[in-house]
Amino acid sequence: MKRGRKIPGNAAIWIGGLIVIGFIAVGIFAPHIAPWDPLKVNLDMKLTGPSANYLFGTDQMGRDILSRLMYGTRTSLFYSVAVLGAMLAVSVPVGIVAGYVGGKVDQIIMRFIDILLAFPSLILSLAITGMLGPGLFNLLLAFASVWWTSYARIIRGMVLQIKEKDYITAARAGGATHLQIVLRHVLPHAVSPIIVLASVEIGTIILSVSGLSFLGLGAQPPTPEWGVMLSDSRPYMQTEPQLMLFPGLTVMIAVLGFNLVGEGLRRMLRGAG
């Protein structure tokens, strides 16, 4: 039974990994492989269908859709990873302190987290972004200030289990300081589950960043970004469906890739456990 679970986990990692690596490569080398300038307006070529010169066609401003998708990969992935990094930068220390220290410190931290979790995270992110104003940096701040709470709860739970292990008791008996125990024993054993959580969460973040850009709260036109492209294509959804089809498929494939990697890592970690 273990082998049966392990094979699909490995397959998911391979398939998802290839997709993720492909998107990363496109984002890095977009200036070299994009066939056209993503911001170049050519009204004489607006709303043309796929052709040899424009593989995915052009948008309402005559801009090449494929080139904008390639450059949009840089924007969407960079800010999604930045949001994830900011979330981890807050949630990991908070979760470790709450779980390891315990007592009143743990109670104060968890009650504060409970208050934040009482509000729907997406609605709270929308409210913060609305107050700060539209823009990708403000969107990053909004997500990072709200979404770290669920991570902190999970990390706290892992630390509570880890600190009861025999090797932690042995380290204390050997005279190790609390900081040494956290850095040498607690954090290394929590890294693998944190990586799995991050790989699963990045797909949700990509969807959220694109979604808020679609609503006009993230990236702003003419920035090549997947959500912006979807928003710009709404008036032409029935007459020129390719304007919405290609950005939508790009978001779907990117999220699928990261979800496959996360699911594969989760299965492998569960099988190893």
DSSP calls for 179-226? HHHIIIIIHHHHHHHHHHHHHHHHHHHHHHHHHHHHTTSSS-TTS--H
Average pLDDT, the chain: 88
CA-to-CA distance for 118 and 68, rounded, in angstroms?
39
Residues 71/198/133/248 CA torsion (nearest 10 deg):
40
Q: How confident is the model at residue 1 (pLDDT cuts 50, 70, 90)?
A: very low
CB 162 within 8 A of CB 189: yes
Range 144-166 burial, b when 16+ CB lie within 10 A, else e: bbbbbbbbbbebbebbeebbeee
Q: What is the model's pLDDT at position 6?
A: 45
Tokens (6 digits) for 75:
């924007």
Q: Which fold has domain 2-37+55-272?
A: MetI-like fold (1.10.3720)
Phi then psi for 246, rounded to 5 degrees? -70, -45
Residue 7 has pLDDT above 50, yes or no: no
Residue 8 has pLDDT above 70, yes or no: no
Q: How confident is the model at residue 271 (pLDDT cuts 50, 70, 90)?
A: low
Mean pLDDT of 237-248: 91
Displacement of CA 269 from its chain's centroid (Å): 20
CA-to-CA distance for 168 and 178, rounded, in angstroms?
10
Integer CA distances (angstroms), 154 to 151, 187, 229, in order? 5, 14, 35
